[in-house]
């Protein structure tokens, strides 16, 4: 009887090859390795636990169905991350169709006015661990609108270029730049508030 492959110790490319020929156990191992990472990306965009779980699961199902299309141009987790990001964007579009996004629409059309606000100066924060800073940034991200948070996540975390973000969001590069600029100003302002409140800066 042939020996069962040692999935837990197998290299990622080997697991992907096995999964490509229908080995569900190899795919299960890939899910075990990257499930948190995929969930985090979904949560960063959606800011909703249940939705993020559902979209992560859908992303894995899609990944299984499209494994033949994965040729290793990007790493496997990067490829997966693109899939879950696309699903999140589809979900945001679906939600947008279901509601009137009047406040965001106003923000979009009042670009020159919003841009009068200065980008806050944030001094490097001494005595704050990376983890603590991440928590504060996360709290600030949660306060951004869907559009502004998404553009930040796609640029800073997903590491996409302006052009790629514009394609994914179905908008122009100019709009991406404008949203990113506004999102950063808001983030800087929110961070400054929270750091001041915590007595970490003057």
Partner 1 sequence: MNENEIQLKVQALVDGELTGREAEELLSRLESDAGLKALHTRLTVVRGLMADAELPRTLPESGDFHWSQISKAIELEERQAKHMARPASGANWLLRWVLPLAGIACLVLVLSLQQTTMPDLDILLGSDHELELSIEDLDVMTFNTEDDNMSVVWLDYSIDLQQDEIDLWLD
| Block residue for tokens 């948190």 | 36
CB of 177 to partner 1, least distance (A): 5
Ramachandran angles phi, psi of 118, nearest 5°: -75, 150
Q: Does 200 bind partner 1 (CB under 8 A)?
A: no
Residues present in the chain in total: 202
CB of 42 to partner 1, least distance (A): 10
Give, as one character, the DSSP assignment of residue 118. Answer: P
Ramachandran angles phi, psi of 110, nearest 5°: -110, 35
**Which stretch, 11-19, 68-76, 92-100, 155-163, contacts partner 1 (CB under 8 A)?**
155-163
For residue 80, what are the contacts with CB-CB under 8 A and spacing of at least 6?
34, 37, 38, 59, 60, 63
- With CB under 8 A as the contact rule, the residue among 67, 169, 190, 191 that binds partner 1 is 191
| Block residue for tokens 């699903």 | 87
For residues 10 and 26, give the distance between their C-alpha atoms in angstroms, rounded to a whole number.
9
Nearest to 87 by CA among 50, 62, 70: 62
- With CB under 8 A as the contact rule, the residue among 51, 137, 200, 201 that binds partner 1 is 137
Q: Does 36 bind partner 1 (CB under 8 A)?
A: yes
Instruction: Between 89 and 125, name the residue whose CB sits nearer to partner 1.
Output: 125
Site for partner 1 in 75-94 (CB under 8 A): none
Give, as one character, the DSSP assignment of residue 69. Answer: G
Residues of the shown chain interacting with partner 1 in the complex, contacts defined by CB under 8 A: 24, 28, 31-32, 35-36, 39-41, 43-44, 49, 53, 56-58, 60-61, 64-65, 111-112, 115, 119-124, 130, 133-135, 137-138, 152-153, 155-157, 161-162, 174, 177-178, 180-181, 184, 187-188, 191
């Amino acid at each position: 009887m042939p020996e069962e492959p040692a999935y837990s110790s197998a290299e990622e490319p080997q697991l992907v090859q096995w999964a490509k020929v229908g080995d569900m156990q190899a795919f299960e191992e890939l899910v075990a390795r990257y499930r948190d990472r995929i969930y985090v990306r979904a949560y960063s965009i959606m800011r909703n636990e249940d939705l993020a779980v559902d979209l992560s699961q859908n992303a894995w199902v899609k990944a299984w169905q499209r494994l033949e299309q994965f040729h290793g141009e990007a790493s496997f987790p990067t490829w997966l991350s693109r899939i879950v990001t696309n699903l999140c964007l589809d979900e945001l579009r679906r939600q947008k169709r279901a509601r009137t996004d009047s406040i965001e629409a106003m923000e979009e059309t009042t670009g020159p006015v919003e841009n009068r606000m200065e980008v806050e100066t944030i001094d490097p924060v001494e005595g704050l661990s990376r983890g603590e800073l991440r928590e504060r940034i996360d709290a600030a991200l949660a306060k951004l609108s869907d559009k502004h948070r998404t553009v930040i996540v796609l640029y800073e975390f997903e590491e996409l270029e302006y052009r790629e973000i514009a394609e994914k969001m179905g908008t122009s590069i100019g709009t991406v730049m404008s949203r990113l600029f506004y999102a950063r100003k808001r983030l800087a302002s929110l961070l400054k508030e929270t750091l001041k409140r915590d007595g970490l800066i003057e």
